[in-house]
Amino acid sequence: MTFNAASAVAHPNIALAKYWGKRDGAGNYPAVPSLSVTLDGMATRTTLRFDERLSEDRFILGNELLIGRPLERLSRLVDEVRLAAGLTTRVSVVSANDFPTASGLASSASGFAALALAAVTAADLAWTPEQVSNLARRASASAARSVFGGFARLAAGPIGSDGSVALAAEPVAGPDAMPMKVVVCVTHEGSKSVASTDGMLRTMASSPYYERWLSYAVENEAALHKALLSGNFQEVGELAEASALAMHATALACGVSYFNGATLEALKQLRLLRDAGLAVYGTIDAGPHVKVLVRPDQEPIVTPKLRAIAGVVRTIVTTPGGAPSVERLKKPS
Ligand code: 2P0
């Protein structure tokens, strides 16, 4: 019996310039470019084993055995690896996040990045990070960015492709390029109300502001990219908050809402802290949590104020992080 197994650890990323919306047709290509920071301090660990005794793929996420659509989505990614490696063997996968799953804390980004890396390594494919990123993107576009550490960019996808054009994220700058802390304000411990893919598809189909979002997101990402490379923290923060607000306004206009009361309260507190002279900026993904960008020297002042906001359950202080890691596992003796 062959023994092919690998274990990967990947970190979530937070888009500073947001991806929201897909190209029409196959391939899961984003309609807009996005730019993210990968975070230390939160991780998904995934162990994958090709196992000839199995007749079906078996995935355990946390303590849950996956069935139905979530299982099919994971199996589809592994199918691409099997095809490339000439394998038909089913896999057993055990994956765990050390932070809430499917709640807007980018667990699909770290989850699919870790799965892609573990599957490619276990199958003995000598793929480049770009190939792994392209594989992860097809499952979940934000995952393409978590294949890289530091700051990473994912371009918009081609128009009218049948899905066969490769599109990977690209590293833009290392984790030390812009000193910052990202304080995650957790405002709810459960799952989010609308899955991101569904929220995106509804926004594309019925938001009156979607066309404007498409052009705005391109301008915002280009400006943010430039501000990052020139080391202008304030401009990066302002553009990141603007991207998140524009994305959520576009979604809200057709009834796709991710905010709760604490989300709005946290945004208000950020405005008050800025009025008091602190450089703090918020960003929100497909969930109610607010991630706050702050200069490292101001973080000890800001975090207690964030924790005191009504509805903030807890805070997680993170820094820009490194690329994922992977190890091939040896057969137990
Ligand atoms: C992002 N989000 O750029 C944006 C901002 C959430 C808000 O990418 O459909 O799980 O699997 O490609 O990547 C979340 O959506 O969506 C996301 P799919 P994904 O991080």
Reported as a single tens digit per residue, the pLDDT across 149-201 is 999 999 999 999 999 999 999 999 999 999 999 999 999 887 667 889 999 99
| Interval 103-117: pLDDT, tens | 567 678 999 999 999
Q: Give tens-digit pLDDT for 199-219.
A: 999 999 999 999 999 999 999
Give the Cα separation of 170 and 172 in Å (integer): 6
Tell me the average pLDDT of the chain.
Answer: 95
Which of 75-79, 100-104, 286-290, 324-328 has the least mean pLDDT?
100-104
CB 312 within 8 A of CB 186: yes
Residue 98, phi then psi, degrees to nearest 5: -95, 30
Domain 181-318 in the same topology as domain 5-175: no
Contact 263, 206 (CB under 8 A): no
Q: Tell which one of 37, 285, 289 to mutate to probe ligand 1, the residue whose CB is within 8 A of the most ligand atoms.
A: 285
Return the bridge partners of 95, or none: 46, 61
Q: Label residues 124-141 b or e (16+ Cβ within 10 Å = b).
A: eeebebbbbbbbbbbbbb
| % the chain with pLDDT above 70 | 96
DSSP code, position 24: S
Domain residue ranges of the chain, discontinuous segments joined by +: 5-175, 181-318
CATH assignment of 5-175, among 3.40.50.720, 3.30.230.10, 3.40.50.1000, 3.40.50.800: 3.30.230.10
For 7-63, write each residue's pLDDT tens digit: 999 999 999 999 999 999 999 999 999 999 999 988 999 999 999 999 999 999 998
Class of the domain covering 181-318: alpha beta
Q: Which of 39, 72, 108 to mutate to test the pocket of ligand 1 (most atoms within 8 A of CB)?
A: 108
3-class DSSP state for residue 91? Answer: strand
Residue list, ligand 1 pocket, CB within 6 Å:
15, 18-20, 28, 34, 108, 140-142, 196-197, 200, 285-286
SS3 290: strand
